[in-house]
Amino acid sequence: MCKEPESDKKIILASLNGHPEDFRIILDRYGSRVFSLCRRMVGKMHDAEDLTQKTFVDAYTKLHTFDLVRPLWPWLSRIAVNNCKDFFKSAKRKEVSSKPYCSSQDGIYPVKWDNPEKNHLVNERKAIMERALMKLPLKYRAVLEMKDIQELSYAEISDVLELPISTLKIRAIRARKKLEHAVEHVIFEMRNRHAQNN
């Protein structure tokens, strides 16, 4: 018999009512999504892991403030984005945008330009987008992450980044233009590498 999965709401209530171990289910459901978000924002796997940990611990300690009527993911993603923002505020942190993370050490999906299979093409396109995204400065990457990937409204992004909506709209235009160039650049790099290998 297939058991219906517990709703987020039930698990949250159980976690609040003396069953913190139930929070593991939330972690299993959203852990990879939060981790992927953090990795896109900060680039390094190690930093992304730390930020993912912080996001879930923060989420747990603020769980009583979560409005159970709303879906969990937008709330979690906001905590993650805010943590990423704080990460970059730290004086010691410098922009890592110029360093692509799709390397053997940090990348999950190494890019294979010559693979003909469709699913690999999807992964390939995804890898291109991720690499291109990482080439952008954080202020543009953050807007794209929230607007085009997480699909938050400008009002919500304004709340997180503490910027006027008009500024964010201009930033979104610039970010999309920069992404366009970055994608072209990544494809150019990959073609060159492919040509050299052959």
Q: Is the distance from CB of 77 to CB of 178 less than 8 angstroms?
A: no
Site for another protein contains 139 (CB under 8 A): no
Nearest C-alpha neighbor of 164 from the set 174, 155, 153, 175: 155
Burial per residue of 141-156, b for 16 or more beta-carbon CB atoms within 10 angstroms, e otherwise: bbbbbbbeebebebeb
* Residue partners of 102: CB distance under 8 A and separation at least 6: 109, 110, 111, 127, 130, 131, 134
Amino acid at site 111 = V
Cα angle for residues 57, 45, 118 (degrees, 5° grid)? 115
End-to-end CA distance of the chain: 53
Binding residue (CB under 8 A) for another protein from 5, 86, 164, 173: 173
Q: Which is nearer to another protein, 110 or 198 (CB)?
A: 110
What is the residue whose two structure tokens read 């730390």? 50
Binding residue (CB under 8 A) for another protein from 149, 160, 163, 187: 149
Site for another protein contains 65 (CB under 8 A): yes
CB of residue 96 vs another protein: minimum separation in angstroms?
16
Considering only 53-61, 82-90, 92-100, 185-193, which stretch makes contact with another protein by CB under 8 A? Answer: 53-61
Site for another protein contains 13 (CB under 8 A): yes
CB of residue 165 vs another protein: minimum separation in angstroms?
11
Site for another protein contains 27 (CB under 8 A): yes
Footprint of another protein (CB under 8 A): 13, 16-21, 23-24, 27-28, 31-36, 39-40, 45, 48-49, 52-53, 56-57, 60-61, 63-65, 67-68, 108-109, 122, 125-126, 129-130, 133, 144, 147-151, 154, 169-170, 172-174, 176-177, 179-180, 183
